[in-house]
Amino acid sequence: MSDKFAPEIDWEWMLVIGLIAAAAVSAILSGDFAWRFLPGMWTSHFGDGWLLRWFTAFVGGAIMGIGARWANGCTSGHALSGSMQLVVSSWVAAFGIFIGGITLPELI
């Protein structure tokens, strides 16, 4: 193992921590901070049932996969960029993409 690139806390880490802290303080001071599992717009239009959410996620994932394949692109771009923004759906997409990538070639 090489110590050529020893881990260090530099300005980039401080930027990320500062962004998260500033966003939290701003949301708390404005009164908008709330722990929500579902976005308010979704629940106001469709309710909080799980079946429609699962169906929508499945269809959206299939469309994303077809579009990425059609464009010779990569679905992991969605997973990576959204995961860096701490978007829960992107984490789910990332796990789904990796699980699908591991299991589907074995099934074909």
pLDDT, tens only, 29-56: 999 888 888 878 888 888 888 898 889 8
Q: What is the mean pLDDT of residues 9-36?
A: 90
With CA atoms as reference, report the closest residue to 98 among 79, 85, 71.
Answer: 79
- pLDDT surpasses 70 at 1: no
- pLDDT surpasses 60 at 23: yes
**CA separation for the pair 79, 91 (Å, rounded):** 6
> For residue 3, what pLDDT is reported?
66
The predicted model scores a pTM of 0.44
- pLDDT surpasses 70 at 63: yes
